[in-house]
Amino acid sequence: MAKITFITTDDENITLEADSGSVMALAVENGVQGIDGDCGGVCSCATCHVHVKPEHMSKTGDASEIEQDMLELDDNVNEFSRLCCQIEITEDLDGLELTVAG
Amino acid sequence: MKKSTMADPFAQVRKEKGFATVSDQDDPVTMMLRLKDVRKCAHNAKTFSSEDIPGRIVVPSEVNIRTTRQIPFEVDPPKHKGFRGLLDPWFKRPLENEYKQKLHSIVDKLVTENLAGNSVEVINEFSLVLQSRALTLLLNTPFEDSIQWISWGTHVFRSEGDALDGDKAQVLYDYLDEKLDQALANPTDDLFSVLLGAEVDGKKMSKEEAKGVLILTFAGGRDTVINAVSNSIAYLADHPESLKRLRDEPEIRGKAIEEFIRYFSPLTHMGRVVKEDTQVCEHAAKADSRISLCWASANRDETVFENPNEIVLDRKMNPHVGFGFSHHNCLGATHARQILSTLIDVLCDKVGSIDLLETEDNIEEWDDFHRKVGYEKLVVKFNPK
Ligand code: HEM
Ligand code: FES
């Protein structure tokens, strides 16, 4: 099991638990404000953009080139940006904190 | 080559040059063919604007046949954002359970009626009917309104030769004027009334602005949805193993829909007006000239997509631009995705196989590029499961 915390743009803290699937799917199933997941997770819509807590970057790893190309043109991009449909849930993510980029 | 195959006419030029200038009336268009360039130009609305003379960003240009500005489509940021902020929640309604259930019964009824044993001409007897009936949900209007929309036929906003015909477009404009006047007199909870009662950036929406939104929901969501639905049916008829796979593995249906949108690219391209002298793809683009963002070519870019000319039902990385990209990405995408997803669910549930009986391709011509975008005629037989 991994506990993952989402901080929404209205500063709401939501902690959810799961052991598989994508982080985007977890957020959408639980109605996390600002994560829409329009394309269902194939890296085409960028409606699942989050900022990873800086010290947690090693948990999530880096974005692939295709994901980076998508993020590059997103208005709220920074060095901690990820499209969370591209993050698979595993034990290693336990304690992860993500801020919805909105 | 199978009948449902859709070739990529842009491959060679995309690889060698990345762009191509094609003629359109007296206003040529430089088509951007590579995914990265298409995305960059779509994002850079300052240099590549959607807000020029109404109709100019459409290819073929509609400047001679309309004066109403389409909204939010022909408005640049930051004004664009105010309109999208108003429209986005309404156009997300397809995610609500009640909407999904109503759409399911529309699709289920149509498929069931067509299972009776006779052959079906999909474009007119199925896709147009489905598109029109589903639109009553999006606009929140009575189901019966779809009867009139269906009676307009598939060519209502085009003339026979595919060139644009002002008289035909007038059918829609007159209809919208009448509906908007009715909504002004007797407001209801349909999109006509909602728009007329809305405020954007503190200003009440005018009748002309409301009309500008509605033209787009009727015209922009018509051929695109008809082609997406028809092409999906032709593909599944031609590939019985894919219908079986979608039935056995419901978890891949969402990915399959994105892949259909990528492969079919129901909207080939959309224009922009260059606002300052610049370069695109190492080619000079002069102020006041036109470029276009060729979604169909970008979606086959071999530097991004593996096996770009194949439908890979469970393609995992699929950064397609079939619904556009950035500011103006498709407002109707939630509705369109819900239609395709419901269609696949119902076909998997009710239909065992589909016989592909007759096809006549619908080919668009942009100078030397000839692109199949769908079918003029598509006759199939749905066999019950
Ligand atoms: C499979 C079906 C569809 C496809 C492939 C499609 C494709 C597209 C594309 C590529 C764009 C971007 C245009 C640009 O950047 O200039 C777009 C925009 C748009 N589409 Fe769709 N579309 C579809 C269905 C619909 C439907 C059903 C509606 C509404 C009923 C709709 C309404 C719009 C609107 C209003 C815009 C402009 C959004 C803006 O400017 O902010 N589309 N569509
Ligand atoms: S859900 Fe579409 S890019 Fe992540």
* Cα–Cα distance measured from residue B338 to residue B44, given in angstroms and rounded to the nearest whole number: 30
How would residue A102 be classed by pLDDT, with cut points 50, 70 and 90?
confident
Q: Which two tokens stand for residue B259?
A: 């892949």
Neighbours of B117 (CB within 10 A): 9
**Whether residue B275 has pLDDT greater than 90:** yes
What distance separates the 2 farthest-apart alpha carbons in chain A?
A: 34
pLDDT score for B117: 78
Domains of chain B: 11-384 (1.10.630.10)
Domain ranges within chain A, ordered by starting residue: 2-100
**Mean pLDDT to the nearest integer, A22-36:** 97
Q: Go through chain A and tell me how many residues it has.
A: 102
Beta bridge partners of B370: B365
Distance of CA B69 to the CA centre of its chain: 19
Helix (H, G, I), strand (E, B) or coil at B315: coil
**Whether residue B159 has pLDDT greater than 50:** no
pLDDT score for B266: 97
Question: Which residues fall within 8 angstroms of residue A14, CB to CB, at 6 or more apart?
Answer: A5, A6, A7, A8, A30, A32
Query: What ipTM does the predicted assembly reach?
Result: 0.96
Please report the atom of ligand 1 found closest to the CA of residue B83.
41
Neighbours of B198 (CB within 10 A): 17
Give the rounded percent of residues in chain B with a pLDDT score beyond 90: 90
**Mean pLDDT to the nearest integer, B284-307:** 97
**Whether residue B297 has pLDDT greater than 90:** yes
**Whether residue B27 has pLDDT greater than 70:** yes
Whose tokens are 């631009």? That residue is B321
The H or E element that residue B271 is part of is strand B270-274
Chain B residue at shortest CA distance from A64: B317
pLDDT tens digits for B355-381?
999 999 999 999 999 999 999 999 999
Ligand 2 binding pocket includes A46 (Cβ within 6 Å): yes
Ligand nearest to the CA of B38: 1
DSSP per-residue string spanning B167-218:
HHHHHHHHHHHHHHHHHHHS--SSHHHHHHT-EETTEEPPHHHHHHHHHHHH
Better-scored residue on pLDDT, B332 or B67: B332
Out of 3.10.20.30, 3.40.50.1100, 3.30.465.10, 3.90.230.10, the CATH code matching A2-100 is 3.10.20.30
Helix (H, G, I), strand (E, B) or coil at B336: helix
Q: How remote is the CA of residue B136 from the centroid of ligand 1, in Å?
A: 17
Contact B119, B125 (CB under 8 A): no
Whose tokens are 């939010």? That residue is B72
Instruction: Inform me whether the C-beta atom of residue A20 falls under 8 Å from chain B C-beta atoms.
Output: no
How would residue B160 be classed by pLDDT, with cut points 50, 70 and 90?
very low
Q: Which residues of A touch B258 (CB under 8 A)?
A: 39-40, 42, 44
Better-scored residue on pLDDT, B164 or B307: B307
Neighbours of B7 (CB within 10 A): 12
Q: Which two tokens stand for residue A44?
A: 């085409």
Residue B265 is classified by DSSP as: -
Which of B39, B255, B257 shows the shortest C-beta gap to A73? B39
pLDDT score for B161: 47
Q: Which two tokens stand for residue B357?
A: 């009986």
* Cα–Cα distance measured from residue B152 to residue B139, given in angstroms and rounded to the nearest whole number: 18
Chain A residue at shortest CA distance from B261: A39
How would residue B294 be classed by pLDDT, with cut points 50, 70 and 90?
very high
Q: Which residues of B touch A83 (CB under 8 A)?
A: none
Helix (H, G, I), strand (E, B) or coil at B71: coil
pLDDT score for B199: 95
DSSP per-residue string spanning chain A:
-EEEEEE-TT--EEEEEESSSBHHHHHHHTT-TT---TTSSSSSS-TTEEEE-GGGHHHH-PPPHHHHHHHHT-TT--TTEEEGGG-B--GGGTTEEEEE--
Q: How remote is the CA of residue A54 from the centroid of ligand 2, in Å?
A: 21
pTM, rounded to two decimals: 0.97
Ligand 2 binding pocket includes A16 (Cβ within 6 Å): no
> Given ligand 1 and candidates B32, B76, B224, which is best to mutate, with the most ligand atoms within 8 Å of its CB?
B224
**Whether residue B155 has pLDDT greater than 90:** no
Neighbours of B288 (CB within 10 A): 11
Chain A residue at shortest CA distance from B320: A44
In single-letter form, the type of residue at position B378 comes to L
Neighbours of B177 (CB within 10 A): 12
Backbone angles phi, psi at A96, to 5 degrees: -60, 140
Please report the atom of ligand 1 found closest to the CA of residue B57.
16
Mean pLDDT score across all residues of chain B: 95
How would residue B310 be classed by pLDDT, with cut points 50, 70 and 90?
very high
* Residue in A92, A60, A95 with CA at minimum distance from that of residue A81: A60
Query: Pairing state of beta strands B29-32 and B290-293?
Result: parallel
Mean pLDDT score across all residues of chain A: 96
Residue B69 is classified by DSSP as: P
pLDDT tens digits for B201-221?
999 999 999 999 999 999 889
pLDDT score for B153: 87
pLDDT tens digits for A47-74?
999 999 999 999 999 999 999 999 999 9
Beta bridge partners of B354: B382
pLDDT score for B65: 83
* Cα–Cα distance measured from residue B304 to residue B278, given in angstroms and rounded to the nearest whole number: 26
* Residue in B61, B87, B49 with CA at minimum distance from that of residue B330: B87
* Residue in B197, B196, B317, B336 with CA at minimum distance from that of residue B267: B336
